Structure 1
Amino acid sequence: MYVVIGKLQPSKDYTGIGFRIKTWWGMLFIFCLATLFNPVVSLLALMVLTFFALKEYFSMIKSRKSDRRLFLWAYLSIPLQFYWIYIEWYGMFIVFIPVYVFLLLPLPRLINKGTVGFLRSVSSTQWGLMLMVFGLSHLAYFQFATPEYGAGLVLFLVVLTQLNDVVHYLSSLYMGKRKVVPTANPYLTWEGFACAFVVTTGVSYLIYPYLTPLNPIFGFLSGMLISLSGFLGSLTVSVLKRDLLIGDGDKFVALKESYLSRVDSLTYTSPVFFHVIRYFFDFM
Structure 2
Amino acid sequence: MNQTLRSMTPEHQVGLLFLIVFGILAIVSIATLIIGLRERRNHDRGEAWLQDFNDFRRLLRTSWGMAVLFWTGWVLGPGAATFLFGLFAFLALREFITLSPTRRGDHRSLILAFFVVLPLQFILVGTAHFNLFTVFIPVYVFLAIPTVSALANDPSHFLERNAKLQWGIMVCVYGMSHVPALLMLSFPGFEGKSAFLVFFLVFVVQACMVVQHVIARHFVYPPAEGTSKLRRWLTRPPFAPNVSRSFNWASWSAGMAIGTVVGGLMSFITPFKYGQAMAMSLIACVAGSMGHLVMKALKRDRGIPHWGQKGVGVTGAAGLLDRVDALCFAAPIFFHSVRWYFGV
Instruction: Report the TM-score when normalising by structure 2.
Output: 0.74
Residue identity matched to 2:325: D
Do structure 1's residue 181 and structure 2's residue 235 form an aligned pair?
no
The one of 134, 156, 168 equivalent to 2:200 is 156
Task: Please give the alpha-carbon distance, in whole angstroms, between the structure 2 residues aligned to 1:54 and 1:263.
Answer: 12
SS at match of 2:86: helix
1:170 correspondence with 2:170? no
**Corresponding residue number in structure 2 for 1:46:** 85
Counterpart mapping for 1:37-186 below 5 A: 37-75=76-114, 76-146=116-186, 148-175=192-219, 176-186=235-245
* Cα-to-partner distance string for 1:94-135 (whole Å, 9 max, x where unaligned): 110000001010123212432111111100100111111001
Q: Where do residues 14-53 of structure 1 align in structure 2 (5 Å cutoff)?
A: 14=52, 19-53=58-92
Give 1:24 deviation, angstroms: 4.1
CA RMSD of aligned residues (A): 2.5
Question: Structure 1, unaligned stretches of length 5 or more?
Answer: none
- Counterpart position of 2:300: 242
Shift of 1:249: 6.8
* 2:69 maps to amino acid: I
Q: Which has the higher contact order (CA 8 A, sep 6+)?
A: 1
Q: Secondary structure at the match of 1:61?
A: coil
Match 1:11 to one of 42, 48, 53: 48
Say how many residue pairs are matched: 280
Deviation at 1:262, TM superposition (A): 0.3
Alignment-mate amino acid for residue 254 of structure 1 = K
Going from structure 1 to structure 2, the CA distance change for 1:21 and 1:261 (only over 3 Å counts) comes to farther
For the 8 Å contact 1:19–1:257, the answer to whether it is kept is no
% identical aligned pairs: 26
CA drift of 1:74 comes to: 0.9
Secondary structure of 1:187's partner?
coil
Per the TM alignment, residue 18 of structure 1 is displaced from its structure 2 partner at its CA by: 5.1
CA distance in 2, matches of 1:18, 1:270: 27
107-116 or 41-50, which deviates more: 107-116
Unaligned 5+ runs, structure 2: 1-27, 220-234, 312-316
- Stretch deviating more after TM superposition (18-27 or 90-99): 18-27
**TM-score (normalised: structure 1):** 0.89
- Aligned: 1:260 with 2:321: yes
Q: Which residue of 2 aligns with 1:191?
A: 250
For 2:277 and 2:326, the matched residues in 1 are separated by 20
C-alpha separation between the residues in 2 aligned to 1:189 and 1:17? 22
Question: C-alpha separation between the residues in 2 aligned to 1:161 and 1:82?
Answer: 22
1:181 is aligned with what amino acid?
A
